[in-house]
Chains A and B, each alone.
Chain A
């Protein structure tokens, strides 16, 4: 057994070394991951080839071809990168604008009962309303330009940001406040040494939820009315009956959403290094 010790705690670094066998190979986790994805693509390809959905399902490679074509051919005056950026830009503007206001407001609500008493009822009133319900009124108010799309995203991201920041503060272990209080710390120490760092993970969880909500909202807004963006690709694909374009847009938007979510995860790792753990401890 190979073990090392950190502060009297033994950590198991031993690896289970068994000889290579066929059974071991086919039960390998990564092998099964690959099997699962390949099987999915094959079934998709089969269903498309046999025209089970008539001509409305493109084969996987056709979708890849279509996306590749878009990289050098302009579609509606913009190339692929332009469409991706158009949507991403809307998401980022809306998401950042909402979180800059919602996170501090949520923290403030949890810390001050008067702010809470004023904001909470309004918030409870608007909370159950799905953000997509705002699409039409947004277009009436702001027209069909960027503003109405960003507005929808702000509406959709505001609630989870605020809610998580609020709960993050309220769920802080009260014993930790006592630690500060007994040592003679004041309210400021309590807030900056305990409250804020303790609520960070919840805030980041809220940001992640917001981000996925932002992508839903941008898609809804672009489906309604737009001249660029990934939602536009999907809409145009539907209108002109090009399944490759629809599926291509769907794949792109998933990839873009994954990319932004990864950025938030990296930011959290950077800001909350204390969440790291030691394997096998």
Chain B
């Protein structure tokens, strides 16, 4: 591990969110290293989406804060990106314009935008439909567009909210590989929330397991497996079991 890999890019301190009497997030603390792919798993209804909404600053926190590079996170200052559960393409923009949209808001120059959009579309195989509109491509394509748009802004922190939850198994594996691939190429810092344990073990470098509401961090599991990962590797299965035991809700 070189030095860059060990620097803390994101620090979350005492993150707490209450809705009236209901405590959803209860003093969560963790760090994300630069260039790390961190997965978060938890039982259904543990407030994963609230967790992401506070991290992305869409929702104010009740207590605590998020620091990026030691500064308080601010969407206007930092490059945050969010891939939502539902595909969220802007229907009135072509695929290319959608991929470039994040850079447009960030004020990236036109040439730079084109260049980066072209590069990312090549990486994820969107080039052939660059000039189509979102209603002309399938749901998995739309999610790819959202992922590309997020990576294209060179985010300080990329948040993903069960982006592949709605897809069938084959496509999911394919897109997970693709995600790992872009993440390694662009060296982004990614926080990947999922309820799919296998998915978490497959993509992540480290897994945080959450408890039921009020949500805390129950355990931290480093995933030290070589890539590409093998779903049938005994070590992989062992890790998957370990995480499953931790979040058993049945």
Contact = CB atoms under 8 A, between A and B. Distances in A.
Q: Answer whether A and B are interacting partners.
A: yes
Interface of A: 6-9, 173, 175-176, 178-186, 189, 193-194, 197-198, 200, 272-278, 281
B58 A178 contact: yes
Nearest to A272: B92
B44 interface: no
Contacts of A173: 88
Contact of B137 (A9, A175, A273): A9
B141 A183 contact: no
B232 interface: no
Contacts of A200: 92
B92 A175 contact: no
27 contacts: A7-B125, A7-B129, A7-B137, A7-B141, A9-B137, A178-B82, A179-B88, A179-B90, A179-B101, A180-B105, A181-B58, A182-B56, A182-B58, A182-B75, A182-B80, A183-B102, A183-B105, A184-B75, A184-B76, A184-B80, A197-B90, A197-B92, A198-B91, A200-B92, A274-B94, A278-B132, A278-B136
A271 to B, nearest CB: 10
Contacts of B69: none
Contact of A183 (B77, B80, B134): B80
Given A182-B159, A198-B92, A274-B133, 16 more contacts: A7-B126, A7-B129, A7-B141, A173-B88, A178-B58, A178-B82, A179-B84, A179-B88, A180-B105, A182-B81, A182-B82, A183-B105, A183-B106, A274-B91, A274-B94, A276-B133
Contact of B90 (A181, A184, A193): A193
B99 to A, nearest CB: 13
Nearest to B153: A183
B5 interface: no
A180 B153 CA distance: 13
B84 A175 contact: yes
B132 A7 contact: yes
B27 to A, nearest CB: 24
Interface in B64-100: 74-82, 84, 86, 88, 90-94
B135 interface: yes
Contact of A176 (B75, B82, B88, B132): B88
A185 B91 contact: no
Contacts of B105: 180, 183-185, 189, 193
B136 A281 contact: yes
Interface string B119-138: 00000011011001111111
Contacts of A184: 74-80, 105-106
4 nearest interchain CB pairs? A7-B129, A184-B75, A197-B92, A274-B133
Contacts of A193: 90, 101, 105
Contacts of A180: 105
Interface string B41-60: 00000000000000011100
B81 A176 contact: no
Contacts of A278: 132, 136
A277 B92 contact: no
A248 to B, nearest CB: 43
A142 to B, nearest CB: 41
Nearest to A175: B88
B79 to A, nearest CB: 8
A6 B128 contact: yes
Contacts of B84: 175, 178-179
A274 to B, nearest CB: 4
A183 B159 CA distance: 12
From A181, A182, A186, A274, residue with most partner B Cβ within 10 Å:
A182
Contacts of A185: 105
Contacts of A181: 58, 75
Contacts of A272: 92
From B74, B105, B159, residue with most partner A Cβ within 10 Å:
B105
Nearest to B129: A7
Contacts of B92: 197-198, 200, 272, 274
A101 to B, nearest CB: 25
B138 A9 contact: yes
B71 to A, nearest CB: 14
Contacts of A194: 90
B146 to A, nearest CB: 8
A251 B101 CA distance: 49
Nearest to A196: B92
